[in-house]
Amino acid sequence: MSGPSHDPALYRPRDVVTIRRALVSVSDKTGLVELATALAAANVEIVSTGSTAATIAAAGIPVTEVAAVTGYPESLDGRVRTLHPAIHSGLLADLRLESHERELAEQGIAPFELVVSNLYPFVQTINAGVTGDAAVEQIDIGGPAMVRASAKNHANVAIVTSPDSYQQVTKALSIGGTTLRQRRRLAAEAFAHTAAYDAAVAAWFATSPFDEADNADSAGSADVNSDTVVAQGDVSDTAFSPEQQVTVTGSLQQVLRYGENSHQSAALYLRADGHGIAQAEQLHGKEMSFNNYVDADAALRAAYDFDEPAVAIIKHANPCGIAIGGGAGDPIATAHHRAHECDPVSAFGGVIAANRIITIAAAEAIKDIFTEVVVAPGFEPAALELLSTKKNLRLLQLPADYSREATEVKQISGGLLVQQLDTHFAPFENWTLATGEPVDDATRDDLVFAWRAVRAVKSNGILLAHNGASVGVGMGQVNRVDSCHLAVNRAGERAAGSVAASDAFFPFADGLQVLLDAGVRAVVQPGGSVRDAEVIAAAEAAGVTMYFTGERHFFH
């Protein structure tokens, strides 16, 4: 169904619109009194609702209740307030058209030139753990209707959805009104605001547990497609159920200097429900770049694969080293030392992530190594002070509720790929001993470490490990043999006596043979090749133990 059609010749040009009447209804009261004071000083009539009107009145500022405009009291516990022709005609009347101006006059309705509205705090409500009907009550209806109506009618109405834009309003009051360019920009922000809000609501409905009544209604229909999904939430091993509609939204946080290369433009957008690297607080250093964010996220992905204190050093989204802390001394400092030893040449100019607070001992080690970014859940005061002496080192502190989304989205030309995050690691007890003798506890621990660490390596991925640290990494090669050679060459003498993990099976024995010739003492790999027998025979001939996990960890 299409909207009304008008002859373009009927539209009268309109650029600057003087603000005479404003509709103000906000959940976030930040800056409200100051804005209302400026509006009143400019002789703007303020129409408002509920607690917003009460806040304005309490400040001694004249305000007209919406009920006085509609002639209808707020009803149904506040569910119905502004949903009335006396309000929406004033929002939607296109005063470039004489017919609209005449119709408003005939109905005795005054237009609005400004609408200030932000919506019920739905995301904050569900993030606080509120569920069921209490969460449903935080779904705004009248607010999005006002915002969308005003944004559609941006030729005549300025719509403001964030306190950050209040300064624009006060400036417009001082220069005679809002410009068309300004109103169009505000309209774009408004539509993005409602889109993100609706996406959060849709995601909640798609992922929140059903109550008993819902379960009764949906019995036997667990795989029926629903309307929408948004990639969000805590990481879990629950099955991923693709939905009919994917919505990905974000609000502009920062325009970056450039993208992957200096000729590419780039920007950082924040998701309303995000708790990741994008929400990290920068404590020190130069502005983050596009590549800094990509590498920092990859480093966190690797470090947070471990429950033990762990450090990952990343360069171009691949690990230069990964290690866990152990033995005597500071565990994070130990983990960093072991991770750095894996490939100190590549670690130059890398990104460091830790899954524990950066201690002064760790900071002492990091300060003399050229590093782009250090990201962690926090920094000891002395560590922060020390690292802050490095002018160009970026220090990021993760949000307290840091988490990754349960699904990840990758853009391809013409569409999106959505998949469940790779968070599952087959436990050692479920591995199959393919050849050799069962390993001792120390070797088992190294194999488990290597199997977790290799997930962070771009495929084809090979990782050699010893004593809870990587000693050689081969990544991103187009065949597994080259990755094996690369891992062995980087490990050097440390390859002898190490364990090896392969992110996918060995299609032939040649790649494994490279590792065996280097002196690897045990191997873990998915298994499942049509030539497994050939690969097993090579391991048996070398007297090396090999386990199959039954799962792979490709990472592209």
Catalytic residues: 152, 316
Pairwise CA distance, residues 545 & 96, whole Å: 81
How far is residue 403 from each of residues 274, 300, 301, measured CA to CA in Å? Answer: 8, 10, 10
Sign of the torsion formed by the C-alpha atoms of 252, 257, 261 and 263: positive
Q: Which two tokens stand for residue 289?
A: 């770049």
Encode 206-235: b = buried (16+ Cβ within 10 Å), e = exposed: beeeeeeeeeeeeeeeeeeeeebbbbbbee
| Greatest pairwise CA separation for the chain in angstroms | 96
Helices (H), 119-211: 122-127, 132-136, 142-152, 166-175, 180-207
Task: Number of helices (H) and strands (E) in the chain: give both, helices first.
Answer: 20, 21
C-alpha 110/C-alpha 63 separation (Å) is: 15
Bridge partners (DSSP) of residue 282 are: 396
What SS3 state is found at 253? strand
Rounded Cα distance between 224 and 481, Å, is 45
Report yes or no: 23 and 161 within 8 Å, Cβ to Cβ. Answer: no
Of all helices (H) and strands (E), which one includes residue 488? helix 480-491
Assess whether the previous peptide bond of 460 is cis (omega < 30° from 0). Answer: yes
Helix (H) or strand (E) holding 29: none
- What sections of 244-343 are H helices per DSSP? 290-303, 331-342
C-alpha 345/C-alpha 392 separation (Å) is 20
Token pair 């190594």 is at which residue?
369
User: Cα–Cα distance between 289 and 313 in angstroms, integer?
Assistant: 17
SS3 call for 465? strand
Which DSSP symbol is given to 358? Answer: B
**Alpha carbon distance 517, 526 (integer Å):** 21
- What are the φ and ψ backbone dihedral angles of 472, each rounded to 5 degrees? -165, 135
Taking CA 28 as the corner, what is the angle to CA 26 and CA 33, rounded to the nearest 5 degrees?
75
Residue where the block lists tokens 């990290």:
280
In the block, tokens 């996220």 appear at: 297
End-to-end CA distance of the chain: 44
CA angle 124, 126, 132 (to 5 degrees): 145
Backbone angles phi, psi at 140, to 5 degrees: -80, 140
